[in-house]
Amino acid sequence: MNYLDELIKTIKILRSPNGCEWDRQQTHQSIRQNMLEEAYEAAEAIDENNMEHLKEELGDVLLQVVLQSQIAQDNNEFDIQDVAKMLNDKLIHRHPHVFGDEKTNDTKVILENWEKLKLEEKKERKRTLDGIPKLPALLKAMKISKKAVRAGFEWQNYNQLLDCFNSEIKEFMEAKTFEEKEDEFGDILFALVNVARWNKIDPEVALSKANNKFTKRFNKLEELTTKPLSELTFEEYNNLWQKAKNLTKE
């Protein structure tokens, strides 16, 4: 059985006059947030390395693609076949080293070609950083940085980058007003994203792990005391934190 065809058929029925009233009422905008949430849940399953969870969450992401496509079809805009064709054509065009005459296994060349071909497709985009979508700031900073680097804008060596990072910290410490501090703090974060890039670290993944680690340790800290947290002294907090760190080491 072709379950993808069955899924498309099911969504079509749900959106039909005799289908589900909730599904019939949905628009591109009304389920926009669902797309974001499902993508994040799929990413979380990847972080957990939980394949059963990932299989389920990828299904939820696929639901959003099929449902958005059905809404578009109902509005005479496009359908799921148009989506698949556009994606297939794009993949073939952007992989000339596989489907064309250009032969290379150099990933740097492959990525440079990808950006070059992408600009050719998006003729309305005249500048390197045009077309970057709305993303969480950390993800967007990494995307901006990578695009600028592919265009040739890069530090000559790692020490230059570290000097830049340290200078941003110095400027933050010297800032006087809130606006100046906010501005300089943003520069620190952007420079730090580049430090992550140089070390082949995904800053979003690294911060997510740090969040999880802090949460795990703080939960353990709460388990270790019978006093309300608001009544703990700094010394008590510090002692409990050190114990929690030792108890939650993997």
pLDDT digits (tens, 9 = 90+) for 186-239: 999 999 999 999 999 999 889 988 998 999 999 999 999 999 999 999 999 999
Task: State the Cα–Cα distance between residues 97 and 200, nearest whole angstrom.
Answer: 25
pLDDT in the model for residue 124: 64
Q: Where are the domains of the chain?
A: 3-87, 137-201, 206-247
Domains 3-87 and 137-201 fall in the same CATH topology? yes
Of residues 101 and 160, more confidence is placed in 160
For the domain spanning 137-201, the CATH number is 1.10.287.1080
Q: Please state the CATH superfamily assignment of the domain spanning residues 3-87 in this structure.
A: MazG-like (1.10.287.1080)
